[in-house]
Structure formats: structure tokens, C-alpha cells
């Protein structure tokens, strides 16, 4: 049975089962009253495309239980509301459930979203689980509940940037002849194999769920699957010694692989982890359990499940520490594994450094981060045209050029065609203006959505990830993501979201997202400049306020009124 309301065919229901297949509308025909509403509608649907989402039948996009909507009833209501939403109305979405439409203005956002927010004293995983079980909230992760997830490409570039920074710092410009060992091939971790290969390295990855391994191989993100740990290690070492670029998965728990490496004195050049440790109940599978046994224990005895997950994480970090002491460059990739391990008895967990202070902070200080855009037409040619444009506009950015060139060769599109690129302050709005002009002149088949991950320069407070080890000690100050969201509302972003817990788990972060639509109209030019300059600019201000000289230099190159920032009015802070 197909839903053909207003000319579309985006949802299929299998007769007699209630199961749905959701795919975003394509083309330039509107199914809503305007392109901003249409963009929100298509991006919501795109999040649940079976080529994009991990468990679309459950509305889960990625990140353990990061949902696009709280229930199918809520999803249907959001879709119906977006279709009829006027150009001077705003839809409010409370943790995945549409709650009201208010008259606003054409310049205001069409959608405002709040996900998983709890009063700080009650912001615990136990309390969240209780409220979620009662149907009162949902976990939005980062881009799941804000409708701007683009599949694994979104995290591939972040992983690529991190591994490229590691290569520059330790090995030159590539990982050729180097071995990277990690675990987790879900929505986030599934990016690791391809990112490693794109930098000419060998990647060896543990994953306990065979379906995730097969999904990554089917999508072209993974090359090989070993029959066991010993076979996988032997193949990886041979590839490393031969200078081959290849990714290899081993169907096992992370600790099975790490224990073997430690026992046999195999020291990888780089090691990390991308399991869903931020959600120990739903995301992390303890030692000794497969997916089926884990689901059974989770249902029967969640307290015992959490205890066993904690013990496994402590052991997990213990192995990583031993590899670090043996010479590996080890980092946590922001999944809160260290905190969980420390709480379960691994006292030295934080001897492992987080990836942001180790490798990414300089990018944030320049306003650079995971900027992304999506072709609402569904035409790959539209993204290929923007690829040519970005290479034309930023010829001196060698890493960006390398990324775009490799992405064209290696990265398949999932759902609506999309691209991501680390553009900085002053670059994002300049690029968006040119794209808007392409839409206006008919060189693109339909409008383009601009958004980003919440993991960005000024949109998150996360002391175990993005704001770890800030120079002025402001790691836990959460004013910045709220200011980011407020500024995006005032600037006219087409939808704005504020979330809690994404990436590291309930109680550990606040973060905000925005999306703006390039529809080709002249009026949109000013909106794009306001939104994209403010959105990345506040990140530069945040880092300048913390005393980072590179951020201060960026502000001098792109002036922003900053009354108290600078050596004359604000004393330099030291780490």
C-alpha cells in the first residue's frame, strides 16, 4: 500500500505487518506549502530511509537509540503538520512529539525542536530511562532527532579529519604502513574503515553484531571480514608490512581482539573505540554475550546488564592503556568510554586523551567543523556540481581538496545525496551564497539544505568530548549551545534544535543544531549569511573567550564585535 497523498510515494506499508519503508520525496514538486517545510519533511523522511537508518522500523536512526520521532503516531502527525504548515507558522516538537503550531513570521524558523532535556538534578540515565519507558521523552542523539543525519558520510569526514591530524602529527601526511585498531561498526563507528583506507592505512575493527559488519560491507565502507581474531590480526599485519590500504572486520567483542593483541605483543600504531559506550544499556554489549543473549539479559535484568557492561568497559580501557604504554597512539573518540570505565573501577582511564584536545581543537578555533549539505532533488548530479564549486572556491585548502576528491571516488550516497566538508568562519556563508545562485539560475534541480552535526565549533558543551580540557577551564559551561540556538533562531534558520546527551550520554552534554534552506530566492541570500556566519562565528568567539590565540586571529580576519575579548580587556588565561 502506497501513500500517494499530494503526489508523493514516500512511504510503503507491507500489508498485514504494519512495517513501513520510508523514503524521502525527490524532484522539484512541493508536497508542502513552501521549500522550508518541504525540506524539513524530506529530511525527516530521509533519516528513516532504510539505507540511512540503523533500525528504521523502531524509528532509530543511529547511536544506540537515537530516534527521529517518538512514535509512528508522532511521525505521522509531524508529516501531516509540515505539509499544511504556513509560511508564517512555527511547529514545536517536544522530544519527538509535535505539540503545537503558533503564528510567528516568515523570517522565523518553521520548526523548533527540543530533545531529551531534563532539569540538571534529574539528568541521570536512570531517570531518563524511566521517563522514556512512560512515553514522555526520547533520545534524539545529535542529528537523528534534528533531521539532518546523512548516513555514515557525516562521521566519515570527522574520522578522516581526526586520522589526518594524527598522520600529520606523528607520521607525515598519510597512514601508509600504519595499523589502526578500533571497535564498533554502527552508525558512527561504521565510518572508521573507509576513513582509514582513504588515508592509505590498514584498519582492523572488532564488531559483535554480524549484521552491522555485513551492512558496512554492502555499502562499500568495509573491504574484508576475517574468520576470527587470529586470522584478522595476521591479515592486518601482512597488509601493513606491504603498505596496502585495506579495512578488515573481525566478528567479536572489542576485548577479544584487544586481549589477543596484548597477549601476542602486537602494538598497533593507533588505537581507539567507537562502540556505543555512551548508552551502556542499549548501545554497548558486554563480554561473553552475542546480540541475542544481550537483548535477553537487557529485558530480564537491566541492572545486571549495566553491571556487566561496566565491567567490560573497565577491561576494555585497561587493554587500551596497555597498548598506549607499549607505544600506540590511543585516543577516545568521544563515546564516554573512559568515564564509564572509571566508574567501574579503571582508575587510570583518563590517561587516555580525548580526540578533540589532542587533534581537533585548532579546527574549532577557526570555526571549522562538520558542515553538510543535501540535494533535495535526490539527484547525485546536484552534489557533483557543488563538489566542483567548492574545489573552485577554495583551491588552497589541500585537505578539503583531498577529502572531496576521495569522497567522490569512495563514498556512496545513502538516501538523499549529500556532502560534508570542514568549512570555517566566513567560508560557509560564501559557499552557500554561490549554491543559492546555482539554484536560482536552474543549474541545480531543486533547493539545497545546509546543516551540520551538533558536534561543531560553538554548539556543544561536552566536557568528555568537544569541550574537554578547555584552556580556561570552562569545559562544563553550557551557555554556549543555548546562545548558539538562540542566535540561529534570531538569524532565521529554518529549523533549530536543542538536545541533551548526544554522543556521550544522558547527563554529559548539551548541544544545538540548525538547518537553513537555499531555495534560490534573493531574500534567502541575506538569511544564509546571517545564519551561517553567526552559527560558526559564535564558535570562534567561544574559543577566543577561552583564550585561544588562533580564534582571536580568526576574529581579526573576520571582524565580530567582541566587547571583552582581547589582550587589552581580558587577561590571557593559561591551561
Residue 13 has pLDDT above 90, yes or no: no
Phi and psi torsions of 354, nearest 5° = -75, 155
Q: What angle do CA 335, 408, 203 make, to 5 degrees?
A: 40
What integer pLDDT is reported at residue 128 of this predicted model?
97
How many DSSP H helices and E strands does the chain contain? 19, 20
Strand partners, 12: 2, 21
How remote is the C-alpha of 380 from its chain's centroid? 22
Counting other chains too, the contacts that 102-105 makes at CB distance below 8 Å and 24 or more residues apart are none
What integer pLDDT is reported at residue 11 of this predicted model?
64
What integer pLDDT is reported at residue 173 of this predicted model?
83
The confidence band for 18, taking pLDDT boundaries of 50, 70 and 90, is low
Provide the sign of the torsion angle of the four alpha carbons 160, 512, 333, 310, taken in this order: negative
The confidence band for 186, taking pLDDT boundaries of 50, 70 and 90, is confident
Secondary structure (3-state) at 372: strand
What integer pLDDT is reported at residue 190 of this predicted model?
85
- CB distance 481 to 529 below 8 Å: no
CA distance 126 to 111: 30
pLDDT tens-digit map of 275-334 = 989 889 988 999 999 999 999 999 999 999 999 999 999 999 999 999 999 999 999 998
The confidence band for 552, taking pLDDT boundaries of 50, 70 and 90, is very high
What integer pLDDT is reported at residue 38 of this predicted model?
98
pLDDT tens-digit map of 50-100 = 999 999 999 999 988 999 999 999 999 999 999 999 999 999 999 999 999
pLDDT tens-digit map of 536-549 = 999 999 999 999 99
Helix (H) or strand (E) holding 476: none
- CB distance 297 to 305 below 8 Å: yes
The CA-atom distances, in angstroms, between 570 and each of 362, 540, 542, 565 are 21, 16, 14, 6
What integer pLDDT is reported at residue 566 of this predicted model?
56
| Sequential DSSP letters for 262-323 | HHTT---SEE---S-TTSTTTT-PPTT--HHHHHHHHHH-HHHHHHHHHHHHHHHHHHHHHH
Nearest to 35 by CA among 533, 551, 518: 518
What integer pLDDT is reported at residue 485 of this predicted model?
98
- Which string of b and e fits 121-149 if b means at least 16 CB within 10 Å? eebebebbbebbeeeebbbbbbbbbbbbb
The confidence band for 558, taking pLDDT boundaries of 50, 70 and 90, is confident
- Which string of b and e fits 263-286 if b means at least 16 CB within 10 Å? eeebbbbbbbbbbbbbbbbbbbbb
pTM attached to this predicted model = 0.88
What integer pLDDT is reported at residue 542 of this predicted model?
97
pLDDT tens-digit map of 215-234 = 999 988 899 999 999 999 99
The confidence band for 12, taking pLDDT boundaries of 50, 70 and 90, is low
Domains of the chain, first to last: 52-151+373-575 (3.40.1770.10), 174-351 (3.40.50.10730)
Residue 8 has pLDDT above 80, yes or no: no
Q: Provide Rg for the chain, Cα atoms.
A: 23
Taking residue 482's Cβ as centre, other Cβ atoms within 10 Å add up to 15
What integer pLDDT is reported at residue 4 of this predicted model?
32
What integer pLDDT is reported at residue 334 of this predicted model?
84
What integer pLDDT is reported at residue 536 of this predicted model?
97
- The mean per-residue pLDDT over the stretch 558-565 comes to 84
What integer pLDDT is reported at residue 574 of this predicted model?
41
Strands (E), 8-162: 11-13, 20-22, 60-62, 66-67, 89-94, 97-103, 111-115
What integer pLDDT is reported at residue 10 of this predicted model?
66
What integer pLDDT is reported at residue 575 of this predicted model?
37
Taking residue 50's Cβ as centre, other Cβ atoms within 10 Å add up to 15
- The mean per-residue pLDDT over the stretch 16-38 comes to 89
| Sequential DSSP letters for 309-366 | HHHHHHHHHHHHHHHHHHT-EEEE-SSSHHHHHHHTT-TTGGGSEEHIIIIIHHHHHT
- CB distance 38 to 32 below 8 Å: yes
Residues 6+ apart with CB under 8 A from 117: 95, 498, 499, 500
The CA-atom distances, in angstroms, between 47 and each of 67, 94, 137, 405, 510 are 9, 18, 19, 26, 21
CA distance 347 to 351: 9
pLDDT tens-digit map of 391-438 = 999 999 998 999 999 999 988 899 999 999 999 999 999 999 999 999
Strands (E), 403-533: 418-423, 448-452, 460-461, 495-500, 510-518
- The mean per-residue pLDDT over the stretch 361-389 comes to 97
- CB distance 354 to 406 below 8 Å: no
pLDDT tens-digit map of 507-524 = 999 999 999 999 999 999
Secondary structure (3-state) at 387: helix
Amino acid at each position: 500500500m502506497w501513500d500517494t497523498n499530494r503526489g508523493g510515494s514516500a512511504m510503503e506499508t507491507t500489508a498485514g505487518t504494519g512495517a513501513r519503508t520510508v523514503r524521502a520525496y525527490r524532484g522539484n514538486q512541493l508536497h508542502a506549502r513552501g521549500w522550508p517545510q518541504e525540506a524539513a519533511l524530506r529530511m525527516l523522511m530521509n533519516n528513516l530511509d532504510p539505507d540511512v537508518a540503523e533500525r528504521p522500523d523502531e524509528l532509530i536512526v543511529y547511536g544506540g537509540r537515537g530516534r527521529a520521532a517518538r512514535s509512528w503516531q508522532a511521525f505521522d502527525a509531524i508529516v501531516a503538520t509540515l505539509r499544511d504548515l504556513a509560511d508564517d507558522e512555527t511547529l514545536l516538537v517536544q522530544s519527538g512529539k509535535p505539540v503545537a503550531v503558533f503564528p510567528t513570521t516568515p523570517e522565523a524558523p518553521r520548526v523548533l525542536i527540543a530533545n531529551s532535556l531534563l532539569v540538571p538534578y534529574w539528568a541521570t540515565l536512570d531517570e531518563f530511562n524511566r521517563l522514556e519507558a512512560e512515553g514522555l521523552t526520547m533520545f534524539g542523539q545529535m542529528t537523528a532527532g534534528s533531521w539532518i543525519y546523512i548516513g555514515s558520510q557525516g562521521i566519515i569526514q570527522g574520522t578522516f579529519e581526526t586520522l589526518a591530524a594524527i598522520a600529520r602529527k606523528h607520521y607525515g601526511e598519510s597512514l601508509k604502513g600504519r595499523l589502526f585498531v578500533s571497535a564498533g561498526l554502527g552508525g558512527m563507528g561504521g565510518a572508521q574503515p573507509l576513513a582509514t583506507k582513504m588515508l592509505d592505512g590498514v584498519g582492523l575493527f572488532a564488531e559483535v553484531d554480524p549484521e552491522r559488519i555485513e551492512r558496512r560491507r554492502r555499502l562499500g565502507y568495509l573491504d574484508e571480514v576475517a574468520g576470527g581474531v587470529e586470522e584478522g590480526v595476521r591479515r592486518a599485519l601482512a597488509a601493513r608490512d606491504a603498505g596496502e590500504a585495506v579495512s578488515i572486520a573481525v566478528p567479536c567483542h572489542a576485548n577479544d581482539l584487544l586481549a589477543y593483541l596484548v597477549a601476542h605483543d602486537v602494538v598497533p600504531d593507533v588505537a581507539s573505540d567507537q562502540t556505543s559506550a555512551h548508552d551502556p544499556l542499549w548501545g554497548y554489549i558486554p563480554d561473553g554475550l552475542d546480540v541475542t543473549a544481550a537483548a535477553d539479559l537487557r529485558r530480564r535484568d537491566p541492572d545486571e546488564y549495566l553491571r556487566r557492561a561496566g565491567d567490560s568497559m573497565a577491561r576494555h580501557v585497561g587493554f587500551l592503556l596497555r597498548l598506549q604504554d607499549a607505544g600506540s597512539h590511543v585516543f577516545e573518540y568521544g563515546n564516554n568510554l573512559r568515564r564509564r570505565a572509571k566508574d567501574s573501577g579503571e582508575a587510570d582511564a583518563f590517561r587516555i586523551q580525548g580526540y578533540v584536545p589532542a587533534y581537533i581543537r585548532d579546527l574549532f578555533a577557526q570555526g571549522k567543523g562538520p558542515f553538510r549539505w543535501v540535494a533535495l532533488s535526490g539527484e547525485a548530479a546536484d552534489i557533483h556540481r557543488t563538489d566542483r564549486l567548492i574545489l573552485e572556491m577554495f583551491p588552497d585548502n589541500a585537505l578539503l581538496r583531498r577529502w572531496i576528491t576521495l569522497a567522490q571516488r569512495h563514498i556512496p550516497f545513502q538516501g538523499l545525496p549529500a556532502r560534508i566538508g570542514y568549512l570555517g568562519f566566513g567560508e560557509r556563508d560564501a559557499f552557500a551564497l554561490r549554491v543559492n545562485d546555482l539554484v536560482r539560475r536552474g543549474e541545480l534541480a531543486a533547493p539545497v539544505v545546509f546543516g551540520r552535526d551538533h558536534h561543531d565549533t560553538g554548539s556543544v558543551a561536552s566536557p568528555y568530548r568537544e569541550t574537554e580540557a578547555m584552556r580556561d577551564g570552562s569545559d562544563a559551561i553550557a551557555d554556549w549551545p543555548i546562545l548558539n540556538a538562540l542566535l540561529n533562531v534570531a538569524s532565521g534558520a529554518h529549523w533549530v534544535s536543542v538536545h541533551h546527551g548526544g554522543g556521550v550520554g544522558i547527563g554529559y552534554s548539551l548541544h544545538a543544531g540548525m538547518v537553513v534552506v537555499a531555495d534560490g530566492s534573493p531574500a534567502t541570500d541575506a538569511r544564509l549569511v546571517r545564519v551561517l556566519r553567526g552559527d560558526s562565528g559564535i564558535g570562534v568567539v567561544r574559543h577566543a573567550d577561552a583564550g585561544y590565540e588562533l580564534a582571536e586571529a580568526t576574529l581579526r580576519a573576520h571582524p565580530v564585535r567582541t566587547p571583552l575579548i582581547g589582550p587589552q580587556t581580558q587577561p590571557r588565561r593559561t591551561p
